[in-house]
Structure 1
């Protein structure tokens, strides 16, 4: 496979960044919505998915525990923030804006890395020119 699993991994990471950006945007949009609870996307499920697909565990004895990892890639969860606004929601606009900026930097670095891989491939196709 071309570049091993690099392109697939970068694609999955981009998908995660997009989903997280959507969730952050939803939190920001609901900053004034009464009783809205902020949500986030869990990275742990993505890591488990990568481990499940790239590491093949083998049971060598029937008494060994089976290796089973959930197949969901993303998990949305309510943030455990105990500070609530006057209207009952827990969206912290400053934290959400910081998370949005951090996620955008992460996304852009993934795009740059993927572009680099395609540029390398293009150079090879052109014979090094």
Structure 2
């Protein structure tokens, strides 16, 4: 039995994704002048598969199979098919900065939603006062 709804778990996973994406973008920006450095990105498909995982079925016997799909780990992959600089580096600073700004807005929206959930819980605990 879960004490809270699954939305806390979903928000936690979304915050983890956003945090990892921010670190990856920051690493790309930091290595913009490193020769032959290839930009990295976080795989959204893994996050989508995890978020849309079907509800687990009730098992009446321990020998029944579990319906676990996907992995709990986010995947970071390297973008290998592009080259923006003459030194083999493929980091596009403008694109990375744009991605970082969008990720910051996404992260802030998640934090606002999480604060709203905690505010609702606090209101319930206090009895609506």
Q: Give yes or no for TM over 0.5.
A: yes
Per the normalisation by structure 1, the TM-score is 0.83
How many residues align structurally?
Answer: 120
Structure 1's consecutive aligned runs of 4 or more residues displaced over 6 angstroms after TM superposition are none
**For 1:84-113, what per-residue CA distance to the aligned partner results, in whole angstroms no more than 9, with x for missing partners?**
302110000000000000000000000000
User: Contact 2:38–2:80 at 8 Å: present in 1 too?
Assistant: no
Q: Any gaps of 5 or more consecutive residues in structure 1?
A: 58-66
Q: Which residue of 2 aligns with 1:51?
A: 52
Q: Give me the CA root mean square deviation.
A: 2.0
- 5 Å matches for 1:62-81? 69-81=69-81
Q: 1:33–1:7: structure 2 CA closer, same or farther, 3 Å change rule?
A: same
User: Contact 1:17–1:106 at 8 Å: present in 2 too?
Assistant: yes
Instruction: Measure how far apart 1:68 and its partner are.
Output: 7.0
Question: d(CA) in 1 for partners of 2:116 and 2:8?
Answer: 11
